[in-house]
Amino acid sequence: MSNYINGLYKKVAELVDENSTMMHLAMGICNRKLHDAITKKTEEVEKDFVSKANYYKKNVNELANEKAQLLKKFQDEFNKVYDVYSNKCFQYLILKEQIDTTRVSTIGNIITLLDLKDKVEESQEYIAYITKRKELEDKLATIEVKEDYDKTYEVLNSLEDPKMQYDDQLARYIEKYGNLCGLVDKIQEIVDSVSDEGVNAIASISVIENAVVNETENNILAKIKALISGIIKKGNFETGYLLKATNRAESIDTEISQIAKKVEENSINVISIILDHKDKINKAFAAE
């Protein structure tokens, strides 16, 4: 068995191991991105909670239960977005794994053809071909008449190497393998894009209730308003902020449904395109 075939066997083993490892790694990266986005958004809710508690002259430590309940409401909603995008990443990666299996099978076909091609050299047909070819080449070296030379050269040129019957198929399988590699790379790009879209979707969800006083304003009027509001609104934390924030958390569900619908519609189109490309590759290189 040639070193080249041994190398292909090694490549097959590497791909089989790599497929499983890369799928877990890709899913891990996707989920980590989404998890980090949720953590960042939850911290935004917590920061706003503390800010509003201070505004309403409330002791944050005494509001631990309220804060935990509010954070959980928001996290439950964020986790719905997480599930939508994580599931889509998984769906694409399963498709990628299926195409990887076809890629491994294609290498197996290449190995089989190369092995058959090597064995041809041991056949009587190939020995006869080599003998005839050498006989004609030796004859060409001694011919002096051009007409005889041309006829002998034509006969030599017409000889068919028995090993060449496998060359066309090999070329097709090699090209098929290259196309499958391109499709696998494209799916990975899609997975990366989906996880990034999930991060952006989570980041786009508004969680902060409008401040009673715009704390970024830096003028005397704003400071007076803040002082007066601080006196008048003292004790209204529950209705002035907590109730509104809780309602906001519950209303996010509608936005998430719209996000999920859009993701599903996009994924149907993308998966259809991927499967179409896969079918075209299989049909174009249907040498099996």
Render pLDDT for 136-184 as a digit per residue (tens, 0 to 9): 888 888 888 888 888 888 888 888 887 787 888 888 888 888 898 898 8
pLDDT for the residue 8:
61
Phi and psi torsions of 80, nearest 5°: -65, -40
Cα gap 162→232, rounded to integer Å = 98
Pick from 58, 56, 59: nearest CA to 229: 56
CA 133 to chain centre: 53
Check whether 211 has a pLDDT greater than 50.
no
CA 271 to chain centre: 12
DSSP codes of every residue in 131-194? HHHHHHHHHHTT---HHHHHHHHHHHHH---GGGGGHHHHHHHHHHHHHHHHHHHHHHHHHHHH
Cα gap 121→128, rounded to integer Å = 10
Pick from 280, 285, 5, 278: nearest CA to 172: 285
| pLDDT class of 104 with cuts at 50, 70, 90 | confident
